[in-house]
Amino acid sequence: MNRRILILTMICILTVLAGCGKKAEPIDLPSKEAVTSIQVITIDGAKTDITEANQIETVMTALSAAEPTRLESVNDQPTNVDAYGTISINTVGESTVVYYYDKDSKHYIEQPYRGIYEMEDYLEETLLQE
């Protein structure tokens, strides 16, 4: 009897651990060609509108390069961070919002209810390029 309980307990533990290691789904962004503009509200509150095709492509490429993490996004906006910036990606008739922030010396993008993604570079530098 004890052996069966031990085996059953081990199976339950392994099942739980296998489910906990799942990374976020890939970031869900509109195609670069469909984007008409990008509005950025920086971490310090400054607003910038990006409308030039080459700048839009640069930003979209940077966002697409973000790597999924095992962290979950379970709110409309980031929580447990001091400050964050907002990126609104606009297409005809639709807007996709993602947030960016730094935490524990790492750079993140958060897409509400989809996932949290790690960036290699500091995103605000890319967003504010002229």
Cβ proximity of 76 and 115 under 8 Å: no
Rounded Cα–Cα distance for residues 89 and 32 (Å): 10
Would you state the pLDDT for residue 62?
Answer: 92
Question: Is a pLDDT exceeding 60 seen at residue 130?
Answer: no
Question: Is a pLDDT exceeding 60 seen at residue 18?
Answer: no
* Mean pLDDT of all residues in 64-70: 93
Model's pTM, two decimal places? 0.79
